[in-house]
Structure 1
């Protein structure tokens, strides 16, 4: 196929969204946009796979949460069916971790539903052209995650939580930590639990290990 033929053909888009009003608004906006063509509309992962095989879209604009599954988990199956298709995930909410998960799954990007229709149209065009697109509000965090420049665990600990972490590092129990901090046992437990949550640890020992690895305690 010549490059002129490739560029003259509209970008074929399959919209996968289970909320009728949202799907209708997206389809209307994209259909009115020059050079974009809606070839199908699906409401589940199963129908998306069936429709993708039938319509061979260039771009699959796919809701992250669908009645029968997760849109991100379906990326591999969609691309196996239609190798040339690029999957752009549409999400009601998102963060850098979700966007990085999309990229790791082979997706073409993540766009938030709160984005304007202009940004959505632009994202579809850029994805069709081979780019990876992420909503502007998430871009910085995604780059940090994908390049390994993640925020240091513990950077968001409060001064009191840092004290609790230091005491965990000394091998103190929750009761002893509460006594040293001069707080009630329940308050001490809460401080310790928040430390574990913020460090992504499942136990006090793991929290100490992570903190030592990251230089938060000696």
Structure 2
């Protein structure tokens, strides 16, 4: 089973999580309450995976993903957070995280994410659907309905945090064609940046069920 380092500034939660994951068969090598301590632990212990919260008093977890991957070399990073901002998922995945799990999804979703990430997959578990769509949700879905199949695929890859070159490889098209599709996505959704488009897609579940590749 995978070896883990946990980084979370809420000690009660972190300790409880370490205990529960140990009972699930994972080996928890260390639990740290600061971002700096988490990075140091990853560098010293080289775990298979690091579970890290987004917000610490000494830094931003999603912005430290690259540092964690460098510190651990082969260590994979899963962001585990209670943050409702979908932009965090985009930032984390773009930086190289292999998972983004919302704390409200529960233990089963986290264990699944760890297991799949350890096997080489990328896993995202966002907050469960809160219920009926609001008018803003409906407007987003209406705008997304004007996207072509290829544009929807590009939007899905933006939501994964991929850049132009990576999108071109996944879709087997040129970088110029990717840029054209992405610009069309921005225009149709009425947003000004790739991050805004990705956040909109995640927030309103615009790319669920989209097949890429």
Superposition TM-score tier, normalisation by shorter sequence = 0.5 to 0.7
- d(CA) in 2 for partners of 1:144, 1:137: 20
Unaligned runs of 5+ in 2: 129-151, 161-181, 194-213
Query: In the alignment, is residue 92 of structure 1 matched against residue 128 of structure 2?
Result: no
- How much has 1:96 moved relative to structure 2? 3.7
- How much has 1:99 moved relative to structure 2? 1.3
- d(CA) in 1 for partners of 2:186, 2:20: 36
- How much has 1:21 moved relative to structure 2? 1.5
Contact 2:105 2:127 in 1 (8 A): no
Contact 1:75 1:105 in 2 (8 A): yes
- d(CA) in 2 for partners of 1:98, 1:151: 23
Contact 1:59 1:86 in 2 (8 A): yes
Say what the alpha-carbon RMSD is for the aligned residues. 2.7
Tell me what 1:59 maps to. Answer: 49
1:78 counterpart (58, 68, 71): 68
- d(CA) in 2 for partners of 1:12, 1:113: 20
Query: In the alignment, is residue 130 of structure 1 matched against residue 120 of structure 2?
Result: yes
Could you say which structure has the larger radius of gyration?
1
Tell me what 1:42 maps to. Answer: 32
| Matched position secondary structure for 2:5 | strand
Tell me what 1:145 maps to. Answer: 158
- d(CA) in 2 for partners of 1:136, 1:54: 31
Seen in structure 2, the aligned counterparts of structure 1 residues 42 and 150 have a Cα distance that, compared at 3 Å, is: farther
Question: How many residues are aligned here?
Answer: 146
- d(CA) in 2 for partners of 1:76, 1:29: 27
Query: In the alignment, is residue 29 of structure 1 matched against residue 65 of structure 2?
Result: no
- How much has 1:104 moved relative to structure 2? 0.6
Tell me what 1:181 maps to. Answer: none
- How much has 1:12 moved relative to structure 2? 0.4
Query: In the alignment, is residue 13 of structure 1 matched against residue 4 of structure 2?
Result: yes
Deviation track 1:21-49 (CA, whole Å, cap 9, x = no partner) reads 21122111110002x11000011111111
- d(CA) in 2 for partners of 1:136, 1:44: 24
TM-score (norm 2): 0.61
Unaligned runs of 5+ in 1: 1-9, 155-198, 202-218
Seen in structure 2, the aligned counterparts of structure 1 residues 144 and 76 have a Cα distance that, compared at 3 Å, is: closer
| Matched position secondary structure for 2:100 | strand
Contact 2:8 2:56 in 1 (8 A): yes
